[in-house]
Amino acid sequence: MGERREEIPLHSSRRGRRRGRGMYRLLAGINLAGMVAVLFYRVTNIPHESLSLRLLWAAMTLSELWFVLYWIMNQAVRWDPIYRSTFKDRLSLRFEEELPGVDAFVCTADPWKEPPLLVIGTVLSLMAYDYPPEKLSVYLSDDGGSDLTLYALLEASFFSKHWLPFCRKFKIEPRSPAAFFSAEAVPPLTFSQELSTMKSLYEDMANRIESAVSLGRVPPEIREEHQRLFSDWNPTTNSRDHPSILKILIGGGDSKAVDVDRCPLPTLVYMAREKRPTYPHHFKAGAMNALLRVSSEISNAPIILNVDCDMYSNDSQSVRDALCFFMDERTGSRTAFVQFPQKFNVTKNDLYDASLLSYNEVNSYGFDGFEGMMYIGSACFHRRDCLTGRKYSDDFKGDLNGRTWKKSLESADVLEERGKFLTSCASEENTMWGTEVGLKYGCPVEDVITGLAIQCRGWRSVYFNPKRAAFIGVAPATLNDTLIQRERWAEGNFQIFLSRYCTFVYGKGKISLGLQMCYSIYGLWAPSSLPALCYAIAPSLCLLNNVSLFPKISTLWSIPFVYVIISTYGYSLVEFLCLGGTFKFWWNGQRMWMIRRVTSYFFAFLDSMLKLIGMGQMKFTITSKVVDADATARYENEIMEFGIASPMFILLTTVSVHNLVCLAALVFKVVVNGIEVLDPLFFQATLCGSMVLLSLPIYEAAFIRKDKGKIPTAVAFIAVILTLAISFLAVLYE
């Protein structure tokens, strides 16, 4: 039987097409030759007119050298991608009675930025997985310590008794009620009466929750009826100072909770770990580690799923997809985690480049080609053994037999009391939690560093991108939230690069060189801002004084520059179109590439440098999932949302206005002196003109729009003053 099983794998994989890989490698080789020619031009044509010009030339040379090195790093993810598929029917035939327990972790931290109704939509979608409910447990970590979130979860526990049978009966997708009822598809007639009843139940629940949130308190009759649940809250309780709160809403050894069809319900647990001002709480990593400890007492499932509160399950079969990798007899025992892509509801042309299209559809396959897909903090199934610090060894069997696994038989009261210590501040004192056990502490991207550490202990990870998205989340709907999120990602990855966890140091001899390069793509986001800023400012500034930083377009030296530009951006455009994007989709991506590098990545670099010299502290900013109606309307119409006087917007607007002024000055010179002026300045004029075209929404927001989402007048005024000052000094210094 064992040999027969091993002959029939639960998943398959294939490399990219040989011909396609060969053509790409040829194109990459030609591109590299063009880039080397550009650098050769730089070092053999150093100007001698003035020291300032030589310094500008050196800055451009170093910037282009950085671009070449960074481009080489990026080739790792495109060099040998791997694509995977699963056979869930084989899993069911062979292991249906042996399926392992699964613990699903959902993390939330602020009921005002992450509305409770949004949170329970994710919870319900996980409870409704097509999976034996007695083997499924869902845990909600509430770092906001809000009784409103617990109240919403209580309502969800009642609603689940109707919702789960409804999902099973009609096999609906998705199983987040909010997502399902907002879908435009018309249900079959045989389905309409049940649909109407279920929709009414959901709307009643949603109205009760939203009413409680708007009033800022749990209904008194609910608090009175469920005194045990709400007994830990008092008028002095706040999100930064409260005791451990653990409530088992469904489950415990004495539980006989069933739905309306008399089927058992999954275990459902609320946790708010203890917080005190004098103890570090380690943000999301601390919450995940507390969940690991608590779940080990209540259910102790060998497989763990973690998702963000806004990332609902879009496919009830995704848990079985993941198990096809964990339970495969040939390779499953070495699989540490299965990472699904994070996909988002975005506008048609992805205004803020939030869909992560290139990351999901290109880069991640390249990571998987080196057997080391990175852990990105959500939509990921883990083997519990890996999260508790275990090293992989050849004798590890990875037994996931669900026949031998059982949830705790102790009562809910006993489990709650025991779990309170496990979620207390004292539970981690003098332990290895956050260093060798659980998620790593001390980094804004604790997920990435944790995944890297797991891989360096000998485990391998898998990337699986099914045709139907397994998880769908809420993308930031304002530019400020988008940039704050990217700043955190860039800063965290750069901190990893600068630390002992740098992949070229920590991963040496443990993971492949290709995987080290893949990780470094994101580790070098922040310093990439410096050459990007140089290119955004210096060439256009030199237009004011007719100073050329590139070869004349009429000379042969222009050929490598033209080739590199056309091949790089031409390939990028073709790739986006092949992935299902539109030209406007791609153009928005180019704009956000520019915006991120001159704002969030630059500020991430500055913050990292300050922390390096001991002048900064780690922060974890939550992006808001709540946007007012006017801002939502602008987002849906793909109008950029600014609205606040952020330092990032001052820098962005200054760079944009600077390029507009320099281009206007060049146009004036062409009108006065003729087209021949452009011969030595062609590349700078093209670069400046591209910046102006990319910045059109910024000019509109700064000088034309009147709505609340425009760039504040003070920001526009400061940007104009800074631009004029820079231009005046440049002309004066000539």
Catalytic residues: 143, 447
The arrangement of strands across the sheet holding 312-313 comes to 312-313, 471-474, 343-345
CA distance 223 to 177: 25
CB 713: neighbour CB atoms within 10 A?
11
Q: Is the CB of residue 152 less than 8 Å from the CB of residue 116?
A: yes
> How many residues comprise the chain?
734
Q: What number of other Cβ atoms are within 10 A of residue 489's Cβ?
A: 22
Q: Judge whether 109 and 173 are in contact, CB under 8 Å.
A: no
- Cβ atoms of 371 and 511 closer than 8 Å: no
**Which phi and psi angles does 684 have, rounded to 5°?**
-65, -40
Reference 322, options 373, 370, 284, 393; nearest CA is: 373
- For CA atoms 418, 423, 429, 435, the dihedral sign is positive
Helix or strand or coil: residue 153? helix
Buried residues in 494-512 as b, exposed as e (16+ CB within 10 A): bbbbbeebbbeebbeeebe
Among left, alpha and beta (phi > 0; psi -120 to 50; other), residue 424 is beta
CA 112 from chain center: how many Å? 21
Q: Confirm if 252 and 411 have CB atoms less than 8 A apart.
A: yes
Q: What is the spatial distance between Cα 607 and Cα 706, in angstroms, rounded to a whole number?
A: 33
Are residues 337 and 381 in contact, defined by beta-carbon separation less than 8 angstroms?
Answer: yes
Smallest CA-to-CA distance from 324 within 14, 1, 91, 12 is with 91
CA atoms within 13 A on the CB side of 296: 14
Please give the C-alpha separations between residue 661 and each of 43, 100, 592, 668, in angstroms, as whole numbers.
30, 64, 21, 11
Q: If we measure between CA atoms, which residue out of 96, 97, 80 comes closest to residue 88?
A: 96
Residue type, 110: D
Q: How far is CA 45 from the centre of its chain?
A: 43
- What is the C-alpha to C-alpha distance for residues 690 and 655, in angstroms, rounded to an integer? 13
Location of structure tokens 């000539």: 734
Helices (H), 45-128: 51-74, 76-79, 88-95, 116-127
Element (H, E) at 84: strand 82-86
* Cα 171 to Cα 174: distance, rounded to the nearest angstrom: 9
> Within 10 A of 541 (CB to CB), how many other CB atoms are there?
23
